[in-house]
Amino acid sequence: MPPARRAEELVTRGITALKQWSERHAAADRVTLRVSEVRAVLETLEVARQEVVALNGPPTRDHIPAALRRQVERLAGYRCEGCATDLSAEDADRHIDHIIPVARFGVTRLDNLQLLCGPCNLRKGAAV
């Protein structure tokens, strides 16, 4: 099963377990939680979270999935789209920039992303 499909299934299973639990106790005003029940749900959700992180990389500030970042870098030929600086070095200061900023409802999609060097990104940030 692909990781995304499996993560989705695990999250669904966690939600289903919580729903069943709340239905079982719907009539009760107060309930005693069994640690083992809570732990089982948490473990299911944690496994799903780890699989999503493994798939997309850890979330970044703009939540640009790692695969999408790599696609933007590749399409730009590993050059800054502002000043054409070569950013192909392993440790180059690469910034994936939203052309229309997120703050102005720009979307995280290939056609709204560009590769910038640090100075161009700073310049753009100041202009926006």
Interface mask toward Zn ion for 20-49; x: CB under 5 A: ------------------------------
Asked if residues 115 and 81 have their Cβ atoms less than 8 Å apart, the reply is yes
Q: Which CB atom, from 84 or from 107, has the smaller least distance to Zn ion? A: 84
Stretch of residues binding Zn ion (CB under 5 A), selected from 24-32, 41-49, 57-65, 72-80 = 72-80
Residue 61 Cβ vs Zn ion, minimum distance, rounded to whole Å:
19
DSSP class per residue in 49-97 = HHHHHHHH-S--TT---HHHHHHHHHHTTTB-TTT--B--STT--EEEE
Site residues for Zn ion, 75-114, by CB under 5 A, read: 80, 82-83, 85
Q: Which CB atom, from 44 or from 114, has the smaller least distance to Zn ion? A: 114
Of 76, 82, 52, nearest to 66 by C-alpha is 52
Residues 6 or more apart in contact with residue 57 via CB below 8 angstroms: 65, 66
Q: Which CB atom, from 4 or from 83, has the smaller least distance to Zn ion? A: 83
Of 123, 115, 75, nearest to 96 by C-alpha is 115
Residue 62 Cβ vs Zn ion, minimum distance, rounded to whole Å:
18
Binder of Zn ion out of 10, 96, 115, 117 (CB under 5 A): 117
Name the residues that contact Zn ion, by CB under 5 A: 80, 82-83, 85, 117, 120
